[in-house]
Amino acid sequence: MTTQTDMPALKGAIDAQVEATLERVQALYRQIHQHPELPFEEHETSERLAEALETLGYEVTRGVGGTGVVALFHNGEGPTVMLRGDMDALPIQEATGLAFASTRTAETESGTVPLMHACGHDLHSSCVVGAAAVMAGLKAHWSGTLMLICQPAEEIFGGARAMLDDGLYTRFARPDVILGQHNMPALAGTIGHRAGSTMAACTNLAVTIHGTGGHGSMPAQTVDPVVIAAHVVTRLQTIVSREVPPEETVVVTVGKLAAGTQANIIPHSAELEINVRSFDNALHRQVVDAIERIIRAECEAGRSPTPPEFRVLNETLALHNDPTAVERVRQAHAVHFGETHLYAMPRLNGSEDFPFFGNATEGGFGGEDIPYVYWFIGATPAERWAETPGESVAEKMRHLEMPHSPYYFPGNEVTLRTGIEAMAAGALAYLG
């Protein structure tokens, strides 16, 4: 058994384990990178990961919440720590020029799409396997239960809920703390932490506004959904300016507005897609409700023959890192990596479905919320970082490719190593 003060001794042990496993994890990473799959279609990916975890002696279950993988390592009395990695890729044509770049495509409703691991989920799940190897190798140094999950469909905010709905905490174990990470364009080898509000809640909403179509020359015989939609778009802008307290950050974007075919036809309906972001779950609900209220009222004002239809395309919660848990993990990372390798993470307007794992109500598992820590690992090699203009992480980030770019590549050796060590050191902060 170890305590926090033994961590420097454990650093050598972790490093030795990483050394022993790194080559295999790199090979696995390249395999997954070269064979990306769309959300909920991660069949090959999950099989590769499941096999790797089985080989390491973990008790592995496949097909949890679709293609999800759960791996357990029972190692005596103690808490249960859950480490989460995601697996899904994006419909992007890879342009990294890597020897193991993806040339894959997939058939979807909208035709053939290229596939790329442009968000580094291949890195995250490979790091889970790396941490699994390290923790198995160090089993004499810790006690408790390690629960590893490889999650499908993060990009569409579907996989976390799917795994929870499939009994993640009842069939396997209910964790005491949950740890997750994402790569970002910061210096490779560094880790960013943030307590409290860290990432935004997000709702993507599709709306149909109904009218009565007809000839463009006879508007009185029609109900024009284009005019109603135009009022909706403008009126929605009053939510942030008139209904949200000025100290709060909320975004309401109408990203899609589609109606009609040509000038002399008044169409039957108009379609909108709306994106909402905020950092507070209760306020977020209030904003989504306001959108619905305004659209219903505008449809009534415009004599719409049938009420508008609303469809949530996907949705996720605000990410709030538990301050106590963040401090504990940050301390462990400070001991392992050194303070100079840590940075204060700025709040991000991006979103994640990771918070469902900790939210008892929205995650649908009941009881108390579960504390979680989600940190960020730098993915930009030192040379590239040095030549990038700017002083702070935020300044430099403006000049670097971001995740979802066809040029984005976080999978260098330093980042992979850091991701494995960060997960192992984080787990040991609770199990050691």
**Interface ranges with Zn ion (CB under 5 A):** 119
Burial class (CB in 10 A: 0-12, 13-18, 19+), 54: middle
Query: Is 116 or 119 the residue whose CB approaches Zn ion more closely?
Result: 119
Query: Is 129 or 153 the residue whose CB approaches Zn ion more closely?
Result: 153
Q: How far is the CB of 404 from Zn ion (least distance, A)?
A: 6
Q: How far is the CB of 280 from Zn ion (least distance, A)?
A: 22
Q: How far is the CB of 305 from Zn ion (least distance, A)?
A: 40
Q: Name which of 241, 233, 242, 251 is nearest 351 in CA terms.
A: 251
Q: Which residues contact 161 (CB under 8 A, 6 or more apart)?
A: 65, 353, 356, 363, 364
Q: How far is the CB of 155 from Zn ion (least distance, A)?
A: 5
What's the gap between Cα 219 and its chain centre?
Answer: 47
Integer distance in angstroms from the first to the last C-alpha of the chain? 6
Residue 283, both tokens: 């306020």
- Amino acid 334 reads A
Q: How far is the CB of 124 from Zn ion (least distance, A)?
A: 8
Distance CA 24, CA 18 (A): 10
Q: Which residue is nearest to Zn ion (CB)?
A: 119
Query: Is 119 or 326 the residue whose CB approaches Zn ion more closely?
Result: 119
Query: Is 171 or 404 the residue whose CB approaches Zn ion more closely?
Result: 404
Distance CA 158, CA 107 (A): 20
Q: How far is the CB of 87 from Zn ion (least distance, A)?
A: 11
Query: Would you list the DSSP string of 242-286?
Result: IIS-TTS-EEEEEEEEEE-SSTTEE-SEEEEEEEEEES-HHHHHH
Residue indicated by tokens 């199990």: 431
Query: Is 280 or 353 the residue whose CB approaches Zn ion more closely?
Result: 353
Query: Is 152 or 211 the residue whose CB approaches Zn ion more closely?
Result: 152
Q: How far is the CB of 1 from Zn ion (least distance, A)?
A: 35
Contact assessment for residue 101 and residue 387, using Cβ atoms and an 8 Å cutoff? no
Query: Is 399 or 404 the residue whose CB approaches Zn ion more closely?
Result: 404
